[in-house]
Amino acid sequence: MTADLMQALQSKTARIAVIGLGYVGLPVACMFARAGFHVTGIDILKDRIALILQGISPIQGKEPGLEELLAETVRSGRLEATTDYGVCREADVALIAVETPVDDETKKPRYAALRSALPSLGKNLKRPSLVIVESTIAPRTMEDVVKPALEDASGLQANRDFLLAHCPERLMPGRLLKNIETMPRVVGGMTPEATELTLTLYRNIVKAELDATDCLTAELVKTTENAYRDVQIAFANETALICEAVGGDVWQVRALVNKSPGRNMHLPGAGVGGHCIPKDPWLLISNLTSDQYAPRLIPAARAVNDSMPLHMADLVADALREAGREVRGSIIAVLGYAYLENSDDTRNSPSAVLVRRLRDWGAEVHIHDPHVPEYCGDLAQTLKGADGLVLMVAHDTYRQLDLASIIRTMRTPIVVDGRKVLSPVPGAFFREIGMGLAQ
């Protein structure tokens, strides 16, 4: 089995199916097609398939090179797209790249997309074939979810009739193609043969190091690397809150701390959004039972980071109070709605939490974001007559703000900076994350 698959990969006669044509699946489908494989993308969204077949990317935002590569690979016939899982009967490799969100309440994985894709693939699974999961998954998902689901639906036996591997994506919006090519990847096979085949496949598109390991290690690495970042950001945020309480300046503290060898204090800020960092820590700890280990640091870090947009609301209320105004009935301009600077991606936006809190308190909130179509109106108009300016995202646009002029157009000159972008100006009631008020 392995020899046939290896030969098909090395000769590039292997046919590849990519299940899930979003941020992860579409770019990787295009790159395997460009590498010379015949690739068929599968998605449940007919509209998305229709766009792709016209060579139009359904992915929002600027993704350098993606639209051109998509058009070229579709035109060449190397990349096809369908809603029909029947194409998997011809697929030597099936790559799964569906979303794996976490439930807002339970913080447990919502594997609906995965649990739908697996039986659909299983029913059409070719023998032999290699199934690779790129989606970020909780440790033990390959063994406890993917393997049994495919065996049940196919009647085949894993590691005998088909092989399994986990090769977690390491993508960032705005650099999807570049990241696939330049980021090192972990390749975790359920068997050494699966690892070897997957390494052979990815060497066609990844120029960086490919680290061979097993499924569990690959699942742990991906979720841990993002949990690590979340804890680091939470540490910076907690230090900021301490500095505010004692009248310190977290930005000066951070700069001097980072001069100490081996320190890398991250940036405090108005919150932690996106589709990776808020989710992956919960995936990492989701399969733990209380008699195994009850994690404390990772949930605490999530709580600190989730509290930051609410802290921004407190800073707004505090500044309004100093200016003799209540939140209720005030007009607040929120600058930045994307989760990341210079991005249009609003997934898990911290600004959404702030806006909800201010509106719950009775404020009228106007949102501006130059990268989000819904909010890219006139900035001066948004700020005119406002009682507060709250900077939530460090978009380049906001770095050029002429605050001295802007506050003259506001009804109440309150400025709250959540990303260390603005500088205090005379006449403004100024607050910023991590800056304690002069005692």
Active centre residues (catalytic): 222, 276
User: Residues binding ligand SAJ: what is the number (CB under 6 A)?
Assistant: 17
Is the CB of 127 or the CB of 399 nearer to ligand SAJ? 399
**Does 273 sit near ligand SAJ (CB under 6 A)?**
yes
Of 100, 135, 154, 226, which one interacts with ligand SAJ (CB under 6 A)? 226
Q: What is the distance between the alpha carbons of residues 60 and 154, in angstroms, rounded to a whole number? A: 36
Q: How far is the CB of 41 from ligand SAJ (least distance, A)?
A: 21
> Angle formed by the axes of helices 2-10 and 192-202, to 10°?
10
Q: By CB under 6 A, is residue 188 in contact with ligand SAJ?
A: no
Q: Of 171, 354, 403, 407, which one interacts with ligand SAJ (CB under 6 A)?
A: 171
Q: Does 306 bind ligand SAJ (CB under 6 A)?
A: no
Q: Which is nearer to ligand SAJ, 98 or 233 (CB)?
A: 233
364 vs 187: CA distance, rounded Å: 50
Shortest spacing between CB 114 and ligand SAJ, in angstroms: 18
- Judged by CB under 6 A, does residue 253 bind ligand SAJ? no
Options 138-146, 168-176, 326-334, 366-374: segment touching ligand SAJ (CB under 6 A)? 168-176
User: Counting contacts by CB under 6 A, is residue 272 touching ligand SAJ?
Assistant: yes
The residue (of 274 and 434) whose beta carbon lies closer to ligand SAJ is: 274
| Residue with nearest beta carbon to ligand SAJ | 274
Q: Closer to ligand SAJ at the Cβ: 41 or 418?
A: 418
**Does 340 participate in binding ligand SAJ (rule CB under 6 A)?**
yes
Provide the minimum distance between the beta carbon of 105 and ligand SAJ in the complex, in angstroms, as a whole number: 21
Q: Contact at 8 Å (CB) between 78 and 70?
A: no
Q: How far is the CB of 273 from ligand SAJ (least distance, A)?
A: 4
Residue in 72, 151, 225, 306 binding ligand SAJ, rule: CB under 6 A: 225
Q: Which is nearer to ligand SAJ, 339 or 398 (CB)?
A: 339
Q: Which long-range contacts (CB under 8 A, 24 or more apart) does 377-386 make?
A: 379/335, 380/406, 380/409, 382/333, 382/335, 383/333, 383/409, 383/410, 384/409, 384/410, 385/331, 385/409, 385/410, 385/411, 386/331, 386/332, 386/333, 386/410, 386/411, 386/412
- What is the rounded distance in angstroms from the CA atom of residue 94 to the CA atom of residue 99? 16
78 phi-psi bin (left φ>0, alpha ψ -120 to 50, beta other): alpha
CA 131 vs. chain centroid, Å, equals 23
Q: At closest approach, how far in Å is the CB of 145 from ligand SAJ?
A: 21
Q: Which SS3 state, helix, strand or coil, does residue 245 take?
A: helix
Task: Give the interface segment with ligand SAJ, choosing from 29-37, 103-111, 167-175, 425-433 (CB under 6 A).
Answer: 167-175
Q: Give the sheet arrangement for strand 414-417, strand by strand.
A: 364-368, 331-335, 388-391, 414-417, 429-432
* Nearer Cβ to ligand SAJ (331/335): 335
Of 140, 229, 356, 384, the residue at the interface with ligand SAJ (CB under 6 A) is: 229
Q: Does 241 bind ligand SAJ (CB under 6 A)?
A: no
Task: Work out which of 48, 170, 302, 368 binds ligand SAJ, going by CB under 6 A.
Answer: 170
Q: Select 22 or 269, whichever has its Cβ closest to ligand SAJ.
A: 269
Closest to ligand SAJ by CB, 60 or 159 = 60
Q: What are phi and psi of 184, to 5 degrees?
A: -60, 150
Q: Concatenated DSSP letters for 49-77?
A: HHHHHTT-----S--TTHHHHHHHHHHHT
| Interface residue with ligand SAJ, options 41, 122, 189, 274 (CB under 6 A) | 274
Query: Is position 370 an interface residue for ligand SAJ (rule: CB under 6 A)?
Result: no
**Residue 233 interacts with ligand SAJ (CB under 6 A): yes or no:** yes
If residue 192 lies in a helix (H) or strand (E), which one and from where to where? helix 192-202
Measure the CA–CA gap between 333 and 408, rounded to whole angstroms. 15
Single out the segment in contact with ligand SAJ by CB under 6 A; choices: 6-14, 147-155, 272-280, 378-386.
272-280
Residue 237: Cβ within 10 Å count: 26
**How far apart (Å, rounded) are the C-alpha atoms in residues 125 and 85?**
9
> Which C-beta is closer to ligand SAJ: that of 193 or that of 230?
230
**Residue pointed to by tokens 């390494």:** 199
Tell me if 178 contacts ligand SAJ by CB under 6 A: no
Q: How far apart are CA 439 and CA 429, in angstroms?
A: 16
Residue with tokens 């603005």: 422
Report yes or no: 395 and 370 within 8 Å, Cβ to Cβ. yes
DSSP annotation string for 221-243: HHHHHHHHHHHHHHHHHHHHHHH
285: part of which helix (H) or strand (E)? helix 280-285
Residues that bind ligand SAJ (CB under 6 A): 170-172, 225-226, 229, 233, 266-267, 269, 272-274, 276-277, 339-340
